[in-house]
Amino acid sequence: MLSGSNYQVPGVGTLEIVIILAVLLTIALLFRKEITTFTGNLFTKVFDEGFMETISPAP
């Protein structure tokens, strides 16, 4: 019998994962410039040696 809570369609989990990946890829392509600008600024701030010089050591 194919009734009740034990019934599952094979491959539905795979289809959901493929759809989610497609949506994420589409969003990444739409906002590609903004994402690259954001990550570039983030890495610049993180690895800026001038910032490390302004930090005083703990007492």
Residue-level pLDDT, tens digit, the chain, 59 residues: 455 566 666 667 888 999 999 999 999 999 999 999 999 999 998 888 776 677 777 76
Taking each helix axis as running N to C, give the angle between helix 32-46 and helix 12-30, from 0 to 180 degrees, rounded to the nearest 10: 80
pLDDT tens per residue across span 16-28: 999 999 999 999 9
Question: How much is the pLDDT for 35?
Answer: 94
Question: How much is the pLDDT for 4?
Answer: 57
User: Domain boundaries in the chain?
Assistant: 16-48
How far apart are the C-alpha atoms of 51 and 48, rounded to whole Å?
6
CA quadruple 14, 16, 18, 21: dihedral sign: negative
Question: How much is the pLDDT for 24?
Answer: 96
